[in-house]
Structure 1
Amino acid sequence: MKIIEVPATDAERLVPLLQDLHALHVAYQPERHIPAPGSDGLAGWLQGWLGAETIFALAAESTQGTLLGYLIYELQDRPALPLRPAETRAMLHHISVTGAWRRMGVGKALVEAMKARALDAGATVIAATYAPFNTASAALMKGMGMEPVLTMAEWRA
């Protein structure tokens, strides 16, 4: 397995893993998510998102060229506020590992690669959000030394 950068032009390679991740969210929170979005729409959306200067995608690739997992993160420069100092934050937005490769270190390798790249880019904070039902993500983040600091709640009409 090797960790590669995924440019916007290769965004369609991420679609099957994104669909897997999205299906989990639809199953637990159907009121928040559109079921079974089309591959073309997802590929176009990912391509646009990954085209942003501060958004990066990494993938774990097998020796045969198959993607085993991916993550998408953003480098955010956050100015100082009266309540906290300035910081550069690496915000992990997505992480997904194909079913057959879960619990085999793929997610950990992706997060470690992201952390190394983010620190090289000047990040002082590594952050992530995950849904309360996603115990695998929660365990991965905890295993990487990340602890919850906020809880978000919402109401929907």
Structure 2
Amino acid sequence: MTMPSVHIRQAGSDDAAILAQLNRFVHGLHVGARPDVFQPSSDVEELIPIFSGFLAREGAIAFVAESEEGVPVGYVTAMIHHRPADALMHARSFVFIEHIAVDPTVARMGVGSALVESVRAVGVETGCTSLLTDVWDFNKKALAFFEGQGLGRMRHWLEQRL
């Protein structure tokens, strides 16, 4: 498949509705796999304040991928973290990908890669030394995607349901 012509742009506070709408592409997967953790899909209007709040936070960054027709086909949100040194750890700056979603009609065509690269570039520009994210264990496609982007496993969360 060929890469669709997409434009990646930084998202602003007026893009909360777009992020909320695009979130459906990934949220349903999470609900299906872990209904004990994730609420059933909400109305887009209920999600707008969540994304607005995220976009207003200091260190928050987000990008929207649009088709050549201007239709949003994906997004990524991330947070820049600057951690001071303490007695146990060195000072550290990193960018953490919080959410990423791509319309399945353009999956595996480079949209997700372009979104991650946009986050990576901002991380470098702001002095971050690493790019981090987390992936639910059930989401093998996401894990493979991020490993394909050059991210490696560094930590494991373990869970026992009670």
Asked if TM exceeds 0.5, the reply is yes
Q: Any idea what SS the aligned residue of 2:45 has?
A: helix
Mapped to 2, the partners of 1:113 and 1:10 lie a distance apart of 17
1:1-157 aligned at under 5 Å gives the runs 1-157=6-162
Q: CA deviation at 1:108?
A: 0.6
Unaligned runs of 5+ in 2: 1-5
RMSD: 1.2
Give TM-score scaled by structure 1 length.
Answer: 0.94
Mapped to 2, the partners of 1:84 and 1:145 lie a distance apart of 24
Tell me the matched-pair count: 157
Unaligned runs of 5+ in 1: none
Identity of aligned residues (%): 31
Give TM-score scaled by structure 2 length.
Answer: 0.92
Question: 2:51 is aligned with what amino acid?
Answer: L
Mapped to 2, the partners of 1:82 and 1:68 lie a distance apart of 45
Q: Any idea what SS the aligned residue of 2:64 has?
A: strand
Name the counterpart of 2:3: none
Question: 2:123 is aligned with what amino acid?
Answer: A
Mapped to 1, the partners of 2:111 and 2:140 lie a distance apart of 16
Q: Any idea what SS the aligned residue of 2:131 has?
A: strand
